[in-house]
Homo-oligomer: A and B are copies of this chain.
Amino acid sequence: MSETPGPSSREFDAAFRQAFRDLVLWRRDVRRFRRDPIDPALIRSLLELASHAPSVGHCQPWRFVLVETAQCREAVRSSFVRANAKALENYDGEQRAQYARLKLEGLEAAPVHLAVFADEATKAGSGLGRQTMPQTLQYSVVGAVQTLWLAARAEGLGLGWISILEPENVCRILEVPDTWTLIAYLCIGRPVEEHTDPELERHNWQERLSTERLIFKR
């Protein structure tokens, strides 16, 4: 009897790994976008790929909302303005001045606005894997966002994640079901400039921590 062949595999070579490393290093949180429109088919293909991210119990809880109307976009931008003004109050002196100078979003110019939610009521996966760590449902959506981020950068697209928002307001503005949690509000478009160092590092807000400080043993 001949042996049943095992499932085939896919190997990646050193050249790919080097390019993947470059992809990770060149991924940035982008705040300055060109206004050129992006082909909707490209966005759709990126979302399709992002949907292959891991999810707890294979529950695929990501829900992608393309925010297209001027009215919704303006309301979200107002939410950012309010939340950012409030955040500024937490800083004093030179740090306050520095915060005020930072550009923290690209809502005005970005051609694509994408709100990403977790469907907390999904029946998919039948609850597997999230009895003791229910937050893994939300974490699954973050994995899809990071996959999208890398895939977008490979297409020459920049992505910016705006967390300075009132999440309940954004849910109301976008009229999503009560059981959806806002995970990320993303701007996508062609970046005006490219960098390997994060904006907050370049403007001396926060330096990179050495890997040694991040690894421990038990």
Q: Which residues in A have some Cβ–Cβ distance to B below 8 Å?
A: 6-12, 16-17, 19-27, 29, 44, 47-49, 51-54, 56-60, 62-69, 72, 83, 86-87, 90-91, 95, 99, 102, 104, 115, 124-133, 135-136, 138-139, 142-143, 145-147, 149-151, 153-156, 161, 163-167, 174-176, 182-184, 193-195, 198, 200-201, 205-206, 208-209, 211, 214-218
Contact = CB atoms under 8 A, between A and B. Distances in A.
Given A24-B53, A27-B54, A143-B145, 11 more contacts: A16-B19, A57-B205, A58-B206, A64-B214, A65-B218, A125-B200, A131-B164, A135-B138, A139-B142, A146-B147, A150-B150
- What is the predominant secondary structure among interface residues of chain A facing chain B? mixed
The 5 closest A-B pairs by CB, nearest first: A142-B142, A58-B200, A9-B194, A143-B146, A58-B206
For the complex formed by this chain, how many copies does it contain in all?
2
Nearest to A52: B24
A146 B53 contact: yes
24 contacts: A7-B195, A10-B26, A11-B156, A12-B22, A12-B153, A16-B16, A21-B151, A24-B52, A24-B151, A27-B54, A54-B146, A57-B200, A58-B205, A58-B208, A63-B214, A65-B216, A68-B218, A72-B218, A87-B131, A99-B128, A125-B206, A128-B200, A133-B182, A139-B183
